[in-house]
């Protein structure tokens, strides 16, 4: 069994270099180490200047998404042993501007997420005396899968459409819009459809399907977008046949 493993890490120090370079590090190989552990070892023991994002170490916060051997991964969820004998290539998430080393600028995603109104929209609030908005387990089940998104953006890094059409709202944001559309308490489906029927919305997706494959939470954003398209098309047909009753 190898005692060390090589990590080829993408570096980008805007004050020193015009484009990213690669730096290799030898780290101890431990069976129970994930790639993030190795990065933390580098940061603590070998090179304190390496920058990367991480927080929870347990697949909940969605901060440590990076490209590992060409695939978007949560670095806290992939083991060094998955990549034996190495070397392991660690790069920042694709398609996002690189701020430094493995840190990307995520403001584009945050803006798009806000644009699709991912919150419960009520036309009018019930009075408190009527109690809570209740849901049956079946009603919860219709949207629960899409609510598991942790905003890790691996799906954006896997989506060539997002790379080619930076205006595309993208998989996670649309999946989250669909999460609220399917919520029995929500009344904002029409508002979201108006936004997502435009350029950059659901019709920009050509169903490559990679977003679903890389999702660490099994959210199935590709499914959400296709189901959204189906609902959008049905709505369009309805408004064509019954122009007075659609809105």
# residues contacting other proteins (CB under 8 A): 37
One of 147, 227, 232, 235 touching other proteins (CB under 8 A): 227
- Out of 8, 69, 142, 197, point to the residue binding other proteins (CB under 8 A): 142
Residue among 32 and 138 whose Cβ is closer to other proteins: 138
Using CB under 8 A as the binding rule, whether residue 138 contacts other proteins is answered as yes
Quote the least distance from Cβ 173 to other proteins, whole Å: 18
Please say whether the beta carbons of 25 and 47 come within 8 A: yes
- Closer to other proteins by Cβ: residue 25 or 162: 162
Q: State the minimum distance, in angstroms, from the CB of residue 7 to other proteins.
A: 20
Interacting span for other proteins (CB under 8 A) from 28-36, 47-55, 147-155, 204-212 = 204-212
C-alpha 161/C-alpha 64 separation (Å) is: 23
Which of 1, 3, 15, 123 binds other proteins (CB under 8 A)? It is 15
Report the residue number, 25 or 96, with the smaller CB distance to other proteins.
96
Residue 195: half-sphere exposure toward Cβ, Cα within 13 Å? 20
Least distance from other proteins to the Cβ atom of residue 107, Å: 11
Residue number, 80 or 182, with CB nearest to other proteins: 182
206: contact with other proteins by CB under 8 A: yes
Residue placing its CB nearer to other proteins in the complex, 160 or 167: 160
Out of 1, 3, 19, 245, point to the residue binding other proteins (CB under 8 A): 19
> What is the DSSP annotation of the chain?
--SEEEEEEEE--TTT-SS-EEEEEEEE--TT-BHHHHHHHIIIII-TT-------SSSSS---EEEETTEEEETTSSBGGGGTT--EEEEPPTTSPEEETTEE--HHHHHHHHHT--S---SSPPPGGG------HHHHHHHHGGGG-----HHHHH-HHHHH-TT---HHHHHHHHHHHT-TT---HHHHHHHHTSTTSGGG-----HHHHH-TT---HHHHHHHHHHHHHHHHHHHHH-TTT--
Q: Judged by CB, which is closer to other proteins: 81, or 147?
A: 147
Residues 21-60 that bind other proteins (CB under 8 A): none
CA–CA distance, 83 with 136 (Å, rounded to integer): 44
Residue numbers 49-108 binding other proteins by CB under 8 A: 70, 94-95, 97-100, 105
CA angle in degrees (0–180, nearest 5) for 151-137-150: 5
Residue ranges in contact with other proteins by CB under 8 A: 12, 14-20, 70, 94-95, 97-100, 105, 137-138, 141-142, 160, 163-164, 206-210, 212-213, 220, 222-223, 226-227, 229-230
């Amino acid at each position: 069994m190898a005692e060390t493993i090589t990590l080829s890490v993408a570096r980008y120090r805007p004050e020193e270099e015009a484009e990213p370079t690669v730096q290799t590090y030898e780290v101890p190989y431990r069976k129970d180490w994930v790639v993030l552990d190795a990065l933390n070892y580098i940061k603590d023991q070998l090179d304190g200047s390496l920058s990367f994002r991480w927080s929870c170490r347990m697949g909940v916060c969605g901060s440590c998404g990076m490209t590992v051997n060409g695939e978007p991964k949560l670095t806290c969820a992939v083991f060094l042993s998955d990549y034996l004998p190495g070397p392991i290539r660690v790069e920042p998430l694709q398609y996002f501007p690189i701020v430094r080393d493995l840190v990307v600028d995520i403001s584009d995603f945050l803006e798009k997420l806000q644009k699709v109104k991912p919150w419960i929209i009520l036309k009018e609030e019930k009075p408190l005396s009527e109690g809570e908005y209740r849901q049956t387990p079946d009603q919860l089940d219709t949207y629960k899968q899409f609510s598991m998104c942790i905003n890790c953006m691996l799906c954006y890094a896997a989506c060539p459409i997002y790379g080619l059409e930076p205006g595309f709202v993208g998989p996670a944001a649309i999946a989250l819009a669909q999460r609220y559309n399917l919520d029995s308490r929500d009344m904002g489906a029409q508002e979201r459809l108006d936004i997502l029927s435009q350029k950059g919305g659901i019709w920009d997706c050509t169903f490559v399907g990679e977003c679903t494959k890389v999702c660490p939470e099994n959210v199935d954003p590709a499914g959400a977008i296709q189901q959204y398209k189906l609902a959008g098309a049905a709505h369009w047909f309805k408004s064509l046949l019954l122009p007075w009753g659609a809105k």
